[in-house]
């Protein structure tokens, strides 16, 4: 189970904000190419990889499938699918680097890839080459695919 004491802050990210941040990441990456393709770390890296692929006009996309989270549990990372190259000329994309444990596994799989994430926390930041936004280690990033919209009572009515 997620250690709730580990997360003191919530950082909700909307679809619009995610898109802006992925475009900003693309601006940082465009001059570092040319790129052979993108390796998206599933599942979190899939949406950012799609946006970045569009912005950088990359049509070759593959996945590295690692699992260390489900919606509420964090555990040991499991490799579900590997790739057959060392990453030379490839972009490795993920949504977030947190502790760096999953990132280290991915980095070991494709050591020559350029590793970019949209968001980074201090513990994982040394494992990536490029990122856009740093958040504190005690912050839970709520991605739009993990959230839903719902009605919230007006403050004045909720206090009655």
**Which residues neighbour 85 within 8 Å (Cβ) at sequence distance 6 or greater?**
110
Instruction: Using DSSP, state whether 110 is helix, strand or coil.
Output: coil
Q: Which of the following is catalytic: 98, 108, 129, 138?
A: 98
- Residue 36 is inside which H or E element, if any? none
Catalytic residue among 3, 62, 95, 138: 95
Tell me, yes or no, if 98 is annotated catalytic.
yes
| Catalytic site residue from 3, 86, 94, 146 | 94
- Can you give the C-alpha Rg of the chain in angstroms? 17
Q: Annotated catalytic, 146? A: no
Q: How far is CA 116 from the centre of its chain?
A: 8
Say whether 108 is catalytic.
no
Q: Which distant-in-sequence residues (6+ apart) come within 8 Å of 106 by Cβ?
A: 41, 64, 66, 92, 94, 115
**Rounded Cα–Cα distance for residues 99 and 125 (Å):** 8
Terminal C-alpha separation, the chain: 35
**Length of the chain measured in residues:** 160
Catalytic residues: 94-95, 98
């Amino acid at each position: 189970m997620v250690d709730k004491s580990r997360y003191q802050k919530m950082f909700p990210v909307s679809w619009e904000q995610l898109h802006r941040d992925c475009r900003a990441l693309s601006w940082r990456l465009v001059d570092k190419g040319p790129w052979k393709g993108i390796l998206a770390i599933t599942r979190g890296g899939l949406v950012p990889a799609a946006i970045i692929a569009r912005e950088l006009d990359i049509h070759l996309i593959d996945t590295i499938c690692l699992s260390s989270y489900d919606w509420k549990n964090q555990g040991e990372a499991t490799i579900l699918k590997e790739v057959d190259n060392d990453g030379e000329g490839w972009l490795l994309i993920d949504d977030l680097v947190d502790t760096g444990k999953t990132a280290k596994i991915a980095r070991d799989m494709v050591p020559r890839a350029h590793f970019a994430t949209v968001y980074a926390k201090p513990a994982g930041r040394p494992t990536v080459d490029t990122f856009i936004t740093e958040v504190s280690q005690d912050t839970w990033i709520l991605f739009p695919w993990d959230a839903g919209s719902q009605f919230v009572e007006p403050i004045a009515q909720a206090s009655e």
